[in-house]
Amino acid sequence: MDLIIRDLGQQPYEPTYERMQRFTDARTAETPDELWVLEHPPVFTQGQAGKDEHLLMPGDIPVVKINRGGQVTYHGPGQLVIYPMLDLRRLSYGVRDLVNLIEHSLIHTLADFGLDAYAKPDAPGVYLDQVMYKGHRVDGAKIAALGLRIRNGRSMHGLSFNLDMDLTPFDRINPCGYAGLPVTQLCDVCPDVTVADARAHLIDHLVERLGHTSLETRQGWS
């Protein structure tokens, strides 16, 4: 099976979301799977069951309502976003299998840098304990979020991994629907790790677990 890794740089959210839906609807049994690797300009995205009460004061940052699960989260420069565009039926994966694969890939990436991370069964994503948040040491700080949509056995959306970004927009929302949820990023807990290293390690872990036999890296959409 083939896997195309698309290095997309910074992409505006809404056109990417529209392209994601077109790709999913148009693919056939022979369409290769893809990983879209990118970042977005500042945007809040609200899941299909999202409640407006979790949007505290979005201000000048746009809010886009989308068809993934979950509540509201923030995307912005310095955050690594990866969308696994996969044919789950061809891979013989269920939704829970894909969630576990993504979370374990993130956990092992953080372990590569000496960090002990974990997932929560009732709140998808990856968390760290004993990190500084607003001047206090806290447990359960979220470093990566996860939201998926499965359409006709094919996956859309994916993960966001906070690397080196402005975290203050998270104060304008209840992240993932949890009031007061502490949010952290890699540069604050492991400042010697570069964005490029974190990105490379995470992609390697995802590819290893997905098990595709042929890889191709492409720049941009072509």
Residue ranges for the known binding site are 68-75, 145-147, 158-160
What is the total count of domains within the chain? 1
CA distance 196 to 15: 25
Residue ranges for the known binding site for substrate are 68-75, 145-147, 158-160
CATH number of domain containing 95: 3.30.930.10
Answer yes or no: 176 catalytic: yes
Q: Which of 85, 176, 193, 206 is catalytic?
A: 176
CA angle 105, 111, 115 (to 5 degrees): 125
Q: Which residue has the higher pLDDT, 128 or 49?
A: 128
**Which pLDDT does position 121 carry in this prediction?**
85
pLDDT beyond 90 at 189: yes
Q: What is the pLDDT of residues 65-106, one digit of tens each?
A: 999 988 999 999 999 999 999 999 999 999 999 999 999 999
Range(s) of the domain holding residue 34: 2-219
CA distance 164 to 184: 10
CA angle 121, 124, 127 (to 5 degrees): 90
**Which pLDDT does position 212 carry in this prediction?**
93
DSSP state of 165: -
